[in-house]
Amino acid sequence: MATATTALPSSSKSHPPITILKRARADVPLSQNKFLKKTARGKVLNILRERYLRDDIPCGVEDCQICIDYPGYRSVLPLKGYTEHTKYGEGHWLVIDTNIVLHQIDLLTALPISLPLIIPSTTIRETRHRSLPLYNRLQQLIQDEDRLIWVWWNEEARETATIPKEAEQGKEKETINDKNDRAIRQVLHFYPEHLSTSLPKSSKLPKLILLTDDRRNREIADGEGLIAISARDYVDGLIGEERERLVDLVVGGVDEISVGEKKGKRIYQDYLPQDTLLAGVKTGRFHQGHFNANQYNYLEGTVNVPGLSKPVLLVGREAMNRSVNGDVVVVEILPESEWKAPGSEVVDQDVALRDDDADDDESPGLAEKEQEKAKEDRMDVDEETKRKPKNILPTGRVVGIVKRNWRAYVCHLDRSSLSDAALTSLSQQTVFATPLSTSLPRIRLRTRQAPQLLDQKILVTIDSWSVNSRYPDGHFVRSLGKVESKEAEQESLLLEYEVPYRPFGRAILSCLPEEGDKWKVPTKAPENLEWRDREDLRDLIVCSIDPPGCQDIDDALHARRLPNGNIEAGVHIADVSHFVHPDNPMDSEAASRGTTVYLVDKRIDMLPSLLGTNLCSLRPFVERLAFSVIWEMNEQAEIVKVRFAKSVIASKEAFTYEAAQLRKDDKSLSDPLTQSIRLLNTLAIKLKEGRMKAGALSLSSPELKIHLNSSESTEPIDVEQKQQRETNSLVEEFMLLANISVAAKIQETFPATAVLRRHCPPPKTNFEALQDILQKRKNMTLDVSSSGALAKSLDACVDAKEPEFNTLVRIMATRCMLSAEYFCSGSVSKETYGHYGLASPIYTHFTSPIRRYADVLAHRQLAAAINYTPLHPSLQSKSHVEKTLSVVNKRHRLAQMAGRASVEFYVGLALKSRGERTGQIGGKSSREEAFVIRTFKNGLAVFVSKLGLEGLITFKKDTHTFDPENYTINVPGSNGQMIGISVFDKITVDISIEKDQNTQRGKVKMIMVGPVNSENL
């Protein structure tokens, strides 16, 4: 019996009483768990663990008289149960088996909200053991307060605790799976029994139904007199709309596969068993890494492995062996004689596999097969010719998958995979879904609603990929809306880049200040906590400079002369950490969002907008809380002194970059505000000079501005490149300076857990290709020995005739670099703290806490460093900081990609509308100049710098010749002579938007019109 024997009459009621649990001798068989464990060295340990059986686990049933006093009891499960079912209309609850979570998670999350679910802890534990992403989704589901979900801690509760059955005569020892199944069934036995004692006799009890896709488990349950049902049968029995809604979400089911046992011929090899893989990786026989599909050629992929300096090339389906972009795979390197160079041809899956039939892949169309074979042969020949250059990569094949990285993909239905008859039929049929991203394979899908889905964007997840199926099998999750409708495109974009965009939940919003938008900085008085240890800087002439239309103003600046002749400059950052406290729902949501995502016409906030655009935002003419970094500098902009303080400021003006520039340049003005801007500007110029001297890079990536028709219609009109003004650089310099100062301070105070940002120097090999091209085409050299040298040689890459050429080289150089990342100072050695691009030995992000979570952490650490608040324990744990930052890094990367994709989409729309306006008949195209950035055997990749758009020009006929050594492709001109086009050449292209017949996907199509028209090449 686990009873409390002694309890101290607790003097303070702050915590539950301290008790000693007593374990009765009778409990021993259940309360001791003995098992053998093999250590890494191969030693076998005999391990005994104890556990306590509890009598105070609440059942979660409404009106339960017994459980009501147990800690954690909530009334969740209604006695009425769920009645909208043809078979179990009199009310029922569902008990979820592990295989449902593992295979039917989409169905599980989509089940009706009013359907009560009981989730045994065994299910949770097994899920956690098998797949962390699924575990996280399950946790999310459980924590959803609107749902009727109750976790029954079955292993902890006395009534349902189980231990594995030892081997008996004629029976083998119970496997762990069987034991877990039994544990889950035990729950179904327990509840009716428990309720019959705890509820009044007359009350009608709902039925408990075990939802499981394991046939054996169902059979045993039937034998024990329980009700068990498979997911498919259960959904089929639902009534009306629910059934329609859910029926496509059901994954084929584990049963079916085992029954069907497709014969067919094997296309792929089986994966090796996990332990062989791990052992192989350890001994160096295999290599492990992330699989990157080639977006230009669906039959090719690479794997970056730690052991080798070059990525491992995978050529052909068999070598890629069912890996999907992002999976962690194990590859075996082929003998050196079979090594190949990556193909230099564009192979588009949509085109190449147009005729594949979704229904049978055992015998793909012979013609298609041959075509593919021929193509592969050609590729091989191609490599023979290219053996001379150093392009040959270690080539391998995938022998196993360590971790799948499957998620839901945004897809279109492939119209060609539907027969004409099927277009109107409502029967279930097999179709292809083509993912938006070109680096993913087509997914086979069974659906009953194919006709409705044809012109929609849909979300599809991959369920499995068997050895005898050319394509992975997936299931339909939901529809996002009509193709090319802005809502669907936007949502698909967010999903594709995994941006969490749900509205903030109730729990999160309840963390906001009670006053809502009425909140004000209280009057200055000792009793107001806001003023504790805060500096009153309301009199300072502070202003903010931001892009036009900016609502979340993170930063404001000031500068003034001090009596001693030095200059005081200050950066004031919104005091987000005053509102976002560690470890509350708002904080964890912000941590998981990581960053605010900016799309062209939408912003997905990291913090609720009350904070982001109002209470924290340093708006002009109101008092706001701030975190200030204040330097004393001399004329040469050298720092004499720096201090950090929580403060209260009142911004005097919110400028746009343009307005600030005008104000600064207006000679007639000499008010303090203008002078302050001028002072800041002179300092910034000196700061920048110093930074450049130290070897900072000025990199380039195309930044575009999209003109929208009006704020409502969001119809894009035109695109132009963003202008860079002096004031942009003013703000940038001071933000950099603030970040560097803060980084040094928190690193000094918290050497083990400071949140910093670094940019590792890129490996020299990254630049090889670019160096070679530059050398051959332009006779320019790129010195990559250090960031300073690189900056110098980049400056020298100027083509007098082409002012944009330098920008292009900078863009290409940027692509060779690694990306910057957040890290925890204790996790890496001090030598690698540096920021390569900024040429700073230490760096962090501090200046935008409204839109970046790392900044919030830096704020908390700085506040602790100046003894304003104690540091929250989570920020002292290295593992916790590491975990948080890895999420933030990932989100940051994805957010950038989402932003870019959004711009791309709008550029497309703008081009379309531009074409319509100019009224070119049939053309709908616009003519632009473009640079060639890459040459292929049968095409060119070009970059239109004016639009920041990359495009592909392919030549269909074989009239051209390709010179890979010189990055040149020779095409026949109008009068027959050959014209060479090489990398960095400027050509003229016609850009148009074309709708792909099969995929409904709007594609940017480029046609070269000068020097040669590529249309009939």
Partner 1 sequence: MSSSRIEILNDGGLRHDARRPYELRSTSFQLNTHPTAEGSSTVTQGLTTVQVSIFGPREPRQRSQASHDKAIINVEVGVVPWAQGGGGIKRVRGDKRLQEIGASIRQTFEPVIMTHLYPRSEITINVQVLSADGGILPTSINATTLALISSGISILDYITSISIGLYLKQPLLDLSFLEEQDLPNLIISCLTNSNKITLAQMETRLHIDRFEEMLNLGLEACKVLKIEMELIVKEQTEKIVERMNVKSIISSNASGMNIDE
Q: Which residues bind partner 1 (CB under 8 A)?
A: 4-8, 10, 15-23, 45-54, 57, 71-72, 121, 128-129, 139, 142, 151, 153, 155-156, 583, 870-871, 873-874, 876
**Shortest Cβ distance from residue 925 to partner 1 (Å)?**
56
Distance between CA atoms of residues 904 and 901, nearest Å: 5
**Shortest Cβ distance from residue 155 to partner 1 (Å)?**
8
Exposed e or buried b for every residue in 454-482, given b needs 16+ CB within 10 A? bebbbbbbbbbbeeebbbbbbbbbeebbe
* Complex with partner 1: residue 184 or 320, whichever CB lies closer: 184
**Shortest Cβ distance from residue 18 to partner 1 (Å)?**
5
**Shortest Cβ distance from residue 154 to partner 1 (Å)?**
11
* Complex with partner 1: residue 22 or 262, whichever CB lies closer: 22
* SS3 state of residue 936: strand
* Complex with partner 1: residue 67 or 495, whichever CB lies closer: 67
**Widest Cα–Cα separation across the chain:** 103
**Shortest Cβ distance from residue 121 to partner 1 (Å)?**
7
**Shortest Cβ distance from residue 153 to partner 1 (Å)?**
5
Query: What is the DSSP annotation of 436-477?
Result: SSTTS--EEEEES-HHHHTTEEEEEEEEE--TT-SS-EEEEE
* Complex with partner 1: residue 143 or 765, whichever CB lies closer: 143
* Complex with partner 1: residue 102 or 1012, whichever CB lies closer: 102
Query: What is the DSSP annotation of 584-597?
Result: SHHHHHHHHH-B-E
* Complex with partner 1: residue 74 or 707, whichever CB lies closer: 74
Cα 43 to its chain centre, rounded Å, is: 40
Q: Which of 973, 972, 946, 975 is nearest to 960 (CA)?
A: 972
Tokens of 330: 């194990």
Tell the residue number behind the tokens 């055992």, with chain if given. 362
Do 310 and 393 meet the contact criterion of CB atoms below 8 Å apart? Answer: yes
Q: Is 85 left (phi over 0), alpha (psi -120 to 50) or beta?
A: beta
* Complex with partner 1: residue 27 or 213, whichever CB lies closer: 27
Residue type, 275: D
CA angle 711, 717, 720 (to 5 degrees): 105
* Complex with partner 1: residue 49 or 171, whichever CB lies closer: 49
Q: Which of 405, 394, 406 is nearest to 304 (CA)?
A: 394
* Complex with partner 1: residue 34 or 956, whichever CB lies closer: 34
Rg over alpha carbons for the chain, rounded to the nearest Å, is: 32
State the SS3 of 637-685. CCEEEEEEEEEEEEEEEEEEHHHHHHHHHCCCCCCHHHHHHHHHHHHHH
* Complex with partner 1: residue 151 or 410, whichever CB lies closer: 151
* Complex with partner 1: residue 57 or 697, whichever CB lies closer: 57
* Complex with partner 1: residue 462 or 857, whichever CB lies closer: 857
- Cα–Cα separations (whole angstroms), residue 993 to 665, 849, 988, 997: 43, 39, 17, 13
User: For residue 804, which phi and psi values (nearest 5 degrees)?
Assistant: -80, -10
Residue type, 308: L
* Complex with partner 1: residue 18 or 374, whichever CB lies closer: 18
Do 499 and 597 meet the contact criterion of CB atoms below 8 Å apart? Answer: yes
**Shortest Cβ distance from residue 4 to partner 1 (Å)?**
8
Distance between CA atoms of residues 295 and 318, nearest Å: 18
* Complex with partner 1: residue 39 or 779, whichever CB lies closer: 39
Tell the residue number behind the tokens 């259940």, with chain if given. 30
* Complex with partner 1: residue 70 or 598, whichever CB lies closer: 70
Tokens of 10: 């607790």
**Shortest Cβ distance from residue 527 to partner 1 (Å)?**
24
Q: Is 971 left (phi over 0), alpha (psi -120 to 50) or beta?
A: beta
H/E stretch holding 371: helix 366-385
Distance between CA atoms of residues 56 and 3, nearest Å: 10
811 forms bridges with which residues in the sheet? none
**Shortest Cβ distance from residue 588 to partner 1 (Å)?**
12
**Shortest Cβ distance from residue 201 to partner 1 (Å)?**
30
* SS3 state of residue 478: strand
**Shortest Cβ distance from residue 826 to partner 1 (Å)?**
11
Distance between CA atoms of residues 97 and 107, nearest Å: 13
H/E stretch holding 131: none
Residues 659/664/665/669 CA torsion (nearest 10 deg): 100
